[in-house]
Amino acid sequence: MRRHFLAVAGAAGLLLAATGSPLRAYEYQQIFGQPLAGMEGRPRAVAPPRELVAYNGRYAPGTIIISTRERRLYYVLPGNQAVKYGIGVGRPGFEWSGARRVAMKRQWPSWTPPSQMLRRRPDLPRFMPGGPENPLGARAMYLGGSLYRIHGSNEPQTIGQAVSSGCIRMTNEDVVDLYDRVKVGTRVVVLR
């Protein structure tokens, strides 16, 4: 996978601005680090900045490619380019690979832990409404035929690590950027 991606930006990388619909005030505060009341001292993301990179692989523009080994997600653009994001991936025993499609998209999604997760972690709440404390973060893209999602996180310090139950975690800022680019039906290829 690495041989297909070459950074076109300088050493610091080329940050891309988030696009799409305007954010509500509390979303902006949560995503861009201006603390909400009671949120001071919350851990900040240590993920590398997203970058525009060269892409010469076999996947068509509009495809999401996830390299769990690299802990990077690539969104393929026209013109032999891709946007590269840092991600968190499944911990040992929860890794997976294959192809799926984005079946549904949600802003500030609610969260109902699956029964498999509740068996492992009976201390979890049975339901959490969407918002800054929700583990799915600011946006979620549900992968059809699975329990997995590409989603934001209320634990940005976990980006770059293998700690999830198989979902792909992103910073809230990055997941908003990707969400605005992706349509329902987008192909997602997960490589190990």
Q: Where are the domains of the chain?
A: 2-191
More confident residue, 49 or 138: 138
**Active site amino acids:** 151, 167
Please tell me the pTM assigned to this model.
Answer: 0.75
CATH superfamily ID and name for 2-191: L,D-transpeptidase catalytic domain-like (2.40.440.10)
**pLDDT bracket for residue 186 (50, 70, 90):** very high
pLDDT at 188: 98
What's at 20, amino acid-wise?
G
Per-residue pLDDT tens digits for 110-136:
999 889 889 999 999 999 999 999 999
Closest CA to 185 of 60, 62, 57: 62
Summarised one tens digit per residue, pLDDT across range 37-94 is: 333 444 444 567 899 999 999 999 999 999 999 999 999 999 999 999 999 999 999 9
Q: Give me the DSSP letters along 49-80.
A: PPEEEEE-SSSPTT-EEEETTTTEEEEEETTT
Q: Encode pLDDT of 19-31 as tens digits.
A: 333 333 334 344 4
Distance between CA atoms of residues 19 and 96, nearest Å = 30
